[in-house]
Amino acid sequence: MHRTIEQERRLVTPELEYPRLLSRPAALAGRVVLQIIPELDAGGAERTTVDVAAALAQAGARPLVASLGGRLVSELQAKGGVWIPFPAKTKNPVAMALNVLKLARLIRDEGVDIVHARSRAPAWAALGATRLVKRAFVTTYHGIYNGKLAPKVFYNSVMARGDAVIANSQFTANRIAVLHSFAQSRVRVIHRGADLRKLTAATVDPDRVRALRQEWGVAPDQRIVLLPGRLTGWKGQRVLIEAARQLRQKGLDDVRFVMIGDDQGRSGYVEDLKQRIAAAGLDGVARIAGHCTDMPAAFLAAAVVTVPSTEAEAFGRVAVEAQAMGVPVVVSDLGAVGETVLAPPQVDDGRRTGWRVEADNPGELAAGIEWALSLGASARDQLARRARAHVEAHFSLERMTGDTLDVYAALMERQNRA
């Protein structure tokens, strides 16, 4: 049974709710919040780390981020965050144990009030360190952590051991309730936020769109079906290639299929994709374009954005950002997409914001893409307005950062009363 976002929220018990605090700036001014994450490279958790650091700086707090580094460090610093080099990526048990002591020393030296962990390995170090020095500990359950055997479930459980546990979707919160029921009273659902000021057509120079199309080798009269996502098997690139072959067989000749994203060292997977493209007769039709630094322009270049994941998405940032830009989306009906993309039977067709199709089914994906491509100008405009309104109502950056700072402020007030 599909539920609306509001119906899903009613599953959360009253004690899980953190009221918005009017005194948030006063509660956080002068406080020190340390976020810890393996690296500050591409990804939703990394982007959220920078966004929250910026909001903390605006509230008068001192935002620290401990990580190995990465391409987002300069942006973090430009927005008022302080990067502290730290071996947070290690999964070596001995190194993780040493990180507890290193982090405890860092917390004391910097006068840290709250530590917020966003990944499992550094979360174990943060849990140990905060217990040593008696500081508040926050975790964000960013992903669907796989593993059914008891040792792996225990390892994953650190993300539910915070004094406050943030779930990035109701889907994630429900998973925490099943796997880590001990944490249920401390879970707060805070959907990932999109920077809607950047995700609007008015802020994108047409030259940026033209430059991307030229870089991808797409002619002015050709439409683009875009798949943004890391080049890894579960993101569904293979499914899209087969769907593209089927659409090509049906005579859809003016469409090009572009897959963008980091391979993160998966050269064998990239080579497999290239071989599949060649075997399907899609040379010049389907393209692997690598990392893209201008996603607003990439969305505007696309006629359709697809997210054909074969495993559940804990949130699904791409679908939200594409909807904000008014681009039709076709997504696998898994995980949190019931919260991010509205479609029948969850809503009637007049409230649709995209298409949800069966996962790992190229025929279903092809049908969804074909349907989205067939929209007339008026129908596409109406869909774009509904999608934008849906994102503005539920997934804004301001809402996400405000709710996160409320969690911090509530912990500070609780600490002051103790």
How confident is the model over 300-330, as pLDDT tens digits? 999 999 999 999 989 989 999 999 999 999 9
What is the predicted pLDDT for the residue at 11? 37
Domain of residue 43, residue span: 5-193+396-417
What is the predicted pLDDT for the residue at 323? 97
Question: Quick one: average pLDDT of 70-86?
Answer: 96
33 & 176 share domain? yes
211 & 120 share domain? no
285 has a pLDDT exceeding 80: yes
6 has a pLDDT exceeding 60: no
14 & 86 share domain? yes
227 & 341 share domain? yes
Q: How confident is the model at residue 217 (pLDDT cuts 50, 70, 90)?
A: very high
List of residues 6+ apart from 353 with CB closer than 8 A: 323, 329, 341, 342, 343, 383, 386, 387, 390
pLDDT tens track for 373-384:
999 999 999 999
What is the predicted pLDDT for the residue at 10? 36
What is the predicted pLDDT for the residue at 142? 86
252 & 156 share domain? no
What is the predicted pLDDT for the residue at 46? 93
32 & 176 share domain? yes
Burial 342-357 (b: 16+ CB within 10 A, else e): bbeebeeeeebbbbbb
Q: What is the CATH number of the domain that holds 251?
A: 3.40.50.2000
183 & 101 share domain? yes
What is the predicted pLDDT for the residue at 416? 80
The one-letter amino acid at 359: A
DSSP label of 224: E
Output the pTM of the full model: 0.85
211 & 314 share domain? yes
Report how far residue 228's alpha carbon sits from residue 237's, in angstroms, rounded to the nearest whole number. Answer: 10
Q: In which residue are the tokens 């007339």 written? A: 376
25 & 126 share domain? yes
17 has a pLDDT exceeding 60: no
Report how far residue 299's alpha carbon sits from residue 291's, in angstroms, rounded to the nearest whole number. Answer: 14
390 & 404 share domain? no
**CB neighbours of residue 75 within 10 Å:** 15
Total domain count for the chain?
2
181 & 308 share domain? no
Question: Quick one: average pLDDT of 112-116?
Answer: 98
What is the predicted pLDDT for the residue at 19? 43
Q: How far are the Cα atoms of 19, 328, 336 from residue 166, in angstroms, in the given order? A: 14, 29, 15
pLDDT tens track for 379-410:
999 999 999 999 999 999 999 999 999 999 99
List of residues 6+ apart from 187 with CB closer than 8 A: 12, 16, 160, 165, 166, 167, 173, 176, 177
pLDDT tens track for 221-264:
999 999 999 899 999 999 999 999 999 999 999 999 999 998 87
Report how far residue 297's alpha carbon sits from residue 209's, in angstroms, rounded to the nearest whole number. Answer: 5
401 & 341 share domain? no
Q: How far are the Cα atoms of 212, 219, 221 from residue 375, in angstroms, in the given order? A: 24, 21, 17
Report how far residue 318's alpha carbon sits from residue 227's, in angstroms, rounded to the nearest whole number. Answer: 9
